[in-house]
Structure 1
Amino acid sequence: MALLMRFLVLIPLILSFVAFVLTNLALFAGHQQGFMEDYAVIRLNTSQLGQDQFKNGKSHSSNDDKDDDGDESIFGKLKDKVHDIKDEAKDKLGDIANDIIANIAEDLGISQWYSVHIMNACQGEFGANATAAHFSLNTTNCTHSSPSNRFNLTEILNQELSIGPLDLSLADISWPDSIQDKISDLNSALLALFVFFVLGVGFSGLSMLACIPAFLLGDKKIILFINTALASLAATTITLGSIVVTAASSIAVNAINKAGKKITLVATKGTKFYTISWIAAVFMIISTLFWVSKFAMLWKKEKKDRERYSKERF
């Protein structure tokens, strides 16, 4: 039985190891061009940026040109025929305009998507099968962030539009200032997440190593106390980080989509990132519960031994 209880220590060791790996992956996702790009915190789809502005510039409906007097005379019928011809011509012009709009969107000089990671931001193009369920992401550039230099989408787009073939600016597509405000709020949350995850990596790594003396030496109070403390610290920091980034990204994505609707800017949360983040948190919580139960069992055992010793003595 004692040998079996020792081998049970492999459970928190494996859980701590997996949490350590997953937290590292979440922390370093995107730190190199193309590395775990699909594990971004949020992604901004700019492949159709500003298309609505161009579409709104097309010819208005011919209903505005028609008379409301319901004239059924020959002259009135001739006018209706003229309107029908104009409508047909406008539809054809509209199809041509749509093709032009699509070409303009491709030639703005900006990337089709921009992603935000914990330590940097990347940009790139969608693969040929971008409409498929599992589209590919072709990363073209990544920029490293620092506390004084965080992801600024407004600045990046303005620069890329200005040097693009159409020589535009964000003012030309009625860019809402509130979008960058929400991204700035997310940047602040990512700084907090960085601190939490760095601590989480450290504590989960130490928790993994602390399992070794627990396996070799058995249930010693000091060993169980250290393992409980390290596992609980890892669980707390990773869980807090997961809560912060989940809440902040949800608020940012909803606000960006609301403000960016008129300019066809779409933001999405990185589901894969949150999956590995919360798996790491849950694993460390389970590991903590394991050590707490072991510590409680040892405390009860020692209490019974003291009570039995007291009875035998008196």
Structure 2
Amino acid sequence: MKQLPIGIPIVASLAAFILVLLALLAGSRPGFMEDYDIVAFNTSGLGKNLIDLDGDANPTATNDDNDLCDGIGSFLGKACTSATAAVESIKDDVEDTLNDIGNRVADRLADRLGIAEFYSLHALTICEGDFKPNATAPGADRNVTECHKGFTKGYNISTLLDHSLRVGPFKVSLLDLGFTSDIQNSIDTLNTVLKAFTALLIVGIGLTGLSLLASVLALFLIPRRERPTLFANTVLAGAALAFLVLSGLLGTVGASMAEDKVNELGADIGLVAKMGSGYVILTWIGVGLMLIVFGYWLWQLLRFKNGRRMTVNSGRKHPRDSEESGAMAREKPARRVDFLRGRR
């Protein structure tokens, strides 16, 4: 079987290192890879439960109105029915207007409460800002205004929200907005998961970098010390792959569970969570690349145990036995001497 070039693990580990490093650094400063968040909280409608536009302001037609029109004569009954229909049409217009006002009020709730319209959680930071052109516009963009340390200080978004509310114009708290203990418990769990995810990702990035370095050094070490070089590269690539897989699973599953739980518990108060997809793509492509690196070195190690050696300067295989090669080299000149003696 033709030997694969040693450039494969070098290129794959380099690409994996760059991708997972970007996944770690995304959101490290305002506007840098903002779309590659782990999970984001939309707080533009937080406190919408304090605004009730669906009460007595929108009365509905009753059976008594219909009975009243039925009890009148034919001509007057038709007039009554027409008048009732006109009133219903007017009520529908009023209801639509009130709902539109409600949407605009909800779109400005975050500003009025003194909080940001969104909070995005990244591997190292929590970023906040406003939506452009507005929170209810389809496909609204994020305008990041500030990023806070997350890994060292925690990813507890409720602390940021509560602080902003208490220094805001209304001096309210999360409890006033209906922020229950169940929602807080979900955010606390997410905080723990993200810390573990980031720690595993950092270790995985370090091991990926070491695997890249070892792959480059293999170019010079394999001709001299092939067995320990293959073994070291296989171990490093396997360890990097394991940590990247663990961090990927923890981040993906944890963010998905947090999204479901927060949306279930926070729907009534206007709190919405959405799991990011960009960092998932970066992380799992990095996992796939490191799987290639690990598979390459494991294959080469198994080949070595079967008596097949690597070469880094050509695609030809080394002889299986160096002593046999030396014997063959000495045999040719010996035969030439015998031939010349025979002619004499």
- Name the TM-score, length of structure 1 as normaliser: 0.83
Q: CA RMSD in A?
A: 3.3
1:95 is aligned to 97
Measure how far apart 1:280 and its partner are. 0.8
- In structure 1, stretches of 5+ residues that fail to align are 310-314
Measure how far apart 1:139 and its partner are. 0.5
Letter in 2 for 1:44: F
Are 1:255 and 2:261 an aligned pair?
yes
1:21 is aligned to 18
1:142 is aligned to 147
Contact 1:62–1:83 (CA under 8 A) maintained in structure 2: no
Q: Say if 1:178 and 1:252 are closer, same or farther in 2 by CA, change over 3 A.
A: same
2:160 is aligned to 156
Kindly, what percent of the aligned residue pairs are identical? 29
Q: Say if 1:223 and 1:244 are closer, same or farther in 2 by CA, change over 3 A.
A: same
Q: Distance in 2 between matches of 1:170 and 1:268?
A: 20
Of 53, 59, 62 in structure 1, the residue corresponding to residue 59 of structure 2 is: 62
Contact 1:151–1:187 (CA under 8 A) maintained in structure 2: yes
Measure how far apart 1:18 and its partner are. 1.2
Q: Say if 1:82 and 1:161 are closer, same or farther in 2 by CA, change over 3 A.
A: farther
Q: Distance in 1 between matches of 2:39 and 2:158?
A: 16
Q: Say if 1:88 and 1:168 are closer, same or farther in 2 by CA, change over 3 A.
A: farther
The 5 Å alignment of 1:157-176 reads: 157-176=161-180
2:278 is aligned to 272
Are 1:234 and 2:240 an aligned pair?
yes
1:312 is aligned to none
1:120 is aligned to 125
Q: Distance in 2 between matches of 1:150 and 1:64?
A: 53
Letter in 1 for 2:71: S
**Counterpart of 1:137 in 2: which secondary structure?**
strand
Counting matched residue pairs gives 304
Q: Say if 1:56 and 1:153 are closer, same or farther in 2 by CA, change over 3 A.
A: farther
Q: Deviations over 1:94-129 (max 9, x none)?
A: 514632552354133221111111222111112238
Letter in 2 for 1:214: A
Measure how far apart 1:203 and its partner are. 0.9
Please tell me whether Structure 1 or Structure 2 has the larger radius of gyration of its CA atoms: 2
**Counterpart of 2:128 in 1: which secondary structure?**
strand
Measure how far apart 1:43 and its partner are. 0.8
Measure how far apart 1:201 and its partner are. 1.3
More helix by share: 1
Are 1:192 and 2:196 an aligned pair?
yes
**Counterpart of 1:62 in 2: which secondary structure?**
coil
Are 1:218 and 2:219 an aligned pair?
no
Measure how far apart 1:269 and its partner are. 1.1
- In structure 2, stretches of 5+ residues that fail to align are 310-318, 325-344
- Name the TM-score, length of structure 2 as normaliser: 0.76
Contact 1:242–1:274 (CA under 8 A) maintained in structure 2: yes
**Counterpart of 1:174 in 2: which secondary structure?**
coil
Q: Distance in 2 between matches of 1:87 and 1:52?
A: 28
Letter in 2 for 1:103: V
Measure how far apart 1:166 and its partner are. 4.5
Contact 1:58–1:94 (CA under 8 A) maintained in structure 2: no
Q: Say if 1:104 and 1:298 are closer, same or farther in 2 by CA, change over 3 A.
A: closer
